[in-house]
């Protein structure tokens, strides 16, 4: 991959896209391209076609998606299904029609069945029912994976899908109505610390186990896929390590400096008991995460404090 290769990063302002952009700049890439959603609506097929015809990228990295937690998925199922399909289908099909040889599609571990054996392997895709709380997003992402696989099989193009585990890091979403568990906990503990170390109430029992990956490590995996022709169509991207939600809460609490009690609301759902990715295939090819969970949480909290006025919907 030449350093002046024209690379279009869809969703370059989001947590994942911005991390990929930073990593590529650090690696010496000089011809990156990104446009905001105000400038280009990726749900608009004609607009996407025109944009690609005018800009002619060599590579597309699709980090654009409508994302959110359980509440958002439950409240807006149609938007999570349709808008994500529109975004990815427009990008994938336009890339194919434009003759683009390399496309990197980013999805989520939620594509795997709810009750699949642990850790989750790539071959478990479509072997059972999905987790109902985010099936709309998952179905959209599965169609993206399968579209890239079909293009790979039929047209012999280097279209690959990377499925990251739970992500966190700089530019995360800290809005309590739509954020994921780690940034939501960080905000709750921070606000409680400011409120004389008030008690923090968290959902469930704290016993489910989850895996977390610092977003810059995912960005490194994307660059790895960019610079190498991966032999298969689908790869998990994770640490191979998990911990209980209770252990996660206690780690965040210590880093934030909150000294009050934690109250577990057992009337709220726990979700899947365990969700761990098997990332052996990526590890065997040569990529592995570098940032430990504690180090990543510390860096994320530092960024949170530095950007507390501009963090999305922070309203402290």
210 is in an annotated binding site: yes
Inter-axis angle of helices 77-97 and 45-55, nearest 10: 30
108 is in an annotated binding site: yes
Q: Give 20's strand partners.
A: none
Q: How far is it, in rounded angstroms, from Cα 252 to Cα 187?
A: 10
Angle at 90 (CA atoms; ends 89, 95), nearest 5 degrees:
100
Residue 226: phi and psi, rounded to 5, are -65, -40
165 is in an annotated binding site: yes
Indicate the DSSP class of residue 122: G
* The dihedral formed by the CA atoms of 261, 266, 268 and 274, expressed in degrees to the nearest 10: 100
268 is in an annotated binding site: no
Q: How far is it, in rounded angstroms, from Cα 252 to Cα 202?
A: 13
Task: Describe the chain by its helix, strand, coil percentages, rounded to 5.
Answer: 45, 15, 40
166 is in an annotated binding site: yes
316 is in an annotated binding site: no
303 is in an annotated binding site: no
- The DSSP annotation for 48-73 comes to HHHHHHHH--SEEEE-------HHHH
Tokens standing for residue 248: 């996660």
17 is in an annotated binding site: yes
Catalytic residue among 29, 137, 159, 301: 137
190 is in an annotated binding site: no
Q: Tell me if residue 137 is catalytic.
A: yes
21 is in an annotated binding site: no
Strands of 209-210's sheet in order across: 243-244, 209-210, 274-275
188 is in an annotated binding site: yes
14 is in an annotated binding site: yes
167 is in an annotated binding site: yes
284 is in an annotated binding site: no
Q: How far is it, in rounded angstroms, from Cα 95 to Cα 61?
A: 11
Binding residues: 11-17, 106-109, 141, 164-167, 180, 188, 203, 210, 270
Binding residues for substrate: 188, 203, 210, 270
Catalytic residue IDs: 137
Binding residues for NADP(+): 11-17, 106-109, 141, 164-167, 180
């Amino acid at each position: 991959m030449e350093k002046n290769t024209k690379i279009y990063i869809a969703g370059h302002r989001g947590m994942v896209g911005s991390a990929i952009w930073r990593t590529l700049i650090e690696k010496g890439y000089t011809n990156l391209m990104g446009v905001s959603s105000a400038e280009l609506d990726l749900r608009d097929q004609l607009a996407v076609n025109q944009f690609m015809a005018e800009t002619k990228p060599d590579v597309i990295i699709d980090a654009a998606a409508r994302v959110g937690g359980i509440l958002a998925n439950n409240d807006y199922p149609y938007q999570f299904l349709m808008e994500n399909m529109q975004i990815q289908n427009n990008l994938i099909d336009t890339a194919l029609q434009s003759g683009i040889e390399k496309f990197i599609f980013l999805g989520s571990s939620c594509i795997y069945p709810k009750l699949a054996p642990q850790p989750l392997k790539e071959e478990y895709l479509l072997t059972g029912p999905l987790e109902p709380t985010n099936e709309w997003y998952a179905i959209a992402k599965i169609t993206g994976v399968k579209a890239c696989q079909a293009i790979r099989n039929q047209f012999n193009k280097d279209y690959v899908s990377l499925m990251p585990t739970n992500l966190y890091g700089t530019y995360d979403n800290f809005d309590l109505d739509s954020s994921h568990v780690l940034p939501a906990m960080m905000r709750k503990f921070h606000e409680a610390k400011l409120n004389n170390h008030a008690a923090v109430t968290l959902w469930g029992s704290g016993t489910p186990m989850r895996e977390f990956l610092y977003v810059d490590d995912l960005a490194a995996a994307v660059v790895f896929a960019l610079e190498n022709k991966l032999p298969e169509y689908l790869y998990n991207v994770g640490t191979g390590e998990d911990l209980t939600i209770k252990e996660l809460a206690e780690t965040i609490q210590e880093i934030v400096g909150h000294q009050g009690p934690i109250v577990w609301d057992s009337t709220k759902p726990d979700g899947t008991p365990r969700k761990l990715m098997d990332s052996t295939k990526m590890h065997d090819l040569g990529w592995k995460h570098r940032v430990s969970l504690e180090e990543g949480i510390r860096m994320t909290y530092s960024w949170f404090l530095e950007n507390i006025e501009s963090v999305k919907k922070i309203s402290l």
